[in-house]
């Protein structure tokens, strides 16, 4: 069984909503959780809240930038050991709502549900996943952070897709604090969304990009996409 853990990023005031995460087999995720928990314990960390890591708050209060970079790099070395690919899909919310109204797309839910459908599209287009998904006994399940007010619309989208594709097995919503897999998905969603919305001329943009890229480049990523006009995509350059 292939399992992808996904987390979202984007508050109401943010112009973009992002969904991102990592894919691995169910057995590899079990092994990852054991190894990652040992790594957290050795660093005195209970839960990775990416915003706290970025702002040096919470459990990362008193840490230096070099220390957080080393911690995140060590964690993503473990991600790279178990996860063959990471994926991200973002939607420009105002543009989505404008086009939805203009085109009369009544069946479409909100931007978050469209993010999920975009993520599914990226998954089934990935060459490695396309190669193994047809095999007997191989199917695909989703784990998404619990608590998002739009999760029901995502579940509706999943159930619709499942009716037409027998390889889609299940979707569950879990507490992010219980699964480090969801916490690394949060890292990916947080930084890709943030880097899209931050002005590239801002004095901290280059530093944040370097921080994120150095860590994320350890894992192969499918191209990151921002949907702006249903088929018009803006790529975010990442290591592949």
- Set out the domains of the chain in order of their start, with CATH numbers: 2-236 (3.30.420)
pLDDT of 142 > 70? The answer is yes
Instruction: Give pLDDT, residue 229.
Output: 66
> Do 18 and 148 contact (CB within 8 A), yes or no?
no
Mean pLDDT across 133-154 = 92
pLDDT of 231 > 90? The answer is no
pLDDT in tens, 1-23: 999 999 999 887 888 999 999 99
Task: State the burial class of residue 209 (Cβ atoms within 10 Å of its Cβ: 0-12, 13-18, 19+).
Answer: middle
Which pLDDT band holds residue 226 (cuts at 50, 70, 90)? confident
pLDDT in tens, 185-208: 999 999 999 988 877 777 788 888
- Residue whose tokens read 């499942």: 162
Task: Give the Cα separation of 65 and 62 in Å (integer).
Answer: 10
- Residue whose tokens read 């190669």: 131
Mean pLDDT across 23-48 = 97
Residue 196 has which token pair? 């899209």
The residues facing 18 across adjacent strands are 9, 90
Instruction: Give pLDDT, residue 181.
Output: 98
Secondary structure string (H, E, C) spanning the chain: CEEEEEEEECCCCCCEEEEEEEEEEHHHHHHHHHHHHHHHHHCCCCCCCHHHHHHCCHHHCCCCHHHHHHHHHHHHHHHHHHCCEEEEEEEEHHHHHHHHHHHCCCCCCCHHHHHHHHHHHHHHHCHHHHHHCCCCCCCEEEEEECCCCCHHHHHHHHHHHHHHCCCEEEEEEECHHHCHHHHHHHHHHHHHHHHHHCCCCCCCHHHHHHHHHHHHCCCCECCEEEECCCCCEEEECCCC
Residue 118 has which token pair? 């975009």
Instruction: Tell me the pTM.
Output: 0.90
């Amino acid at each position: 069984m292939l399992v992808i853990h996904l987390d979202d990023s984007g508050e109401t005031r943010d112009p973009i909503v992002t969904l991102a995460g990592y894919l691995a087999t169910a057995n590899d995720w079990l092994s990852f959780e054991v190894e990652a928990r040992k790594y957290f314990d050795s660093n005195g960390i209970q839960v990775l809240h990416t915003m706290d890591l970025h702002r040096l708050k919470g459990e990362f209060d008193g840490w230096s930038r070099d220390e957080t970079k080393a911690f995140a790099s060590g964690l993503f070395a473990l991600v790279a050991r178990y996860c063959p690919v990471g994926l991200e899909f973002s939607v420009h919310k105002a543009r989505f709502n404008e086009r939805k109204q203009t085109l009369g797309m009544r069946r479409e839910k909100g931007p978050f549900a469209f993010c999920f459908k975009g993520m599914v599209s990226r998954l089934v287009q990935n060459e490695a996943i396309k190669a193994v998904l047809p095999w007997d006994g191989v199917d695909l399940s989703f784990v998404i952070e619990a608590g998002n007010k739009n999760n029901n619309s995502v579940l509706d989208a999943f159930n619709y897709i499942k009716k037409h594709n027998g390889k889609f097995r299940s979707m569950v919503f879990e507490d992010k604090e219980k699964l480090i897999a969801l916490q690394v998905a949060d890292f990916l969603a947080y930084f890709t969304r943030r880097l899209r919305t931050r002005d590239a001329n801002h004095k901290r943009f280059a530093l944040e990009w370097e921080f994120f890229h150095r860590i994320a480049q350890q894992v192969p990523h499918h191209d990151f996409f921002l949907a702006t006009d249903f088929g018009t995509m803006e790529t975010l350059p990442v290591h592949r």
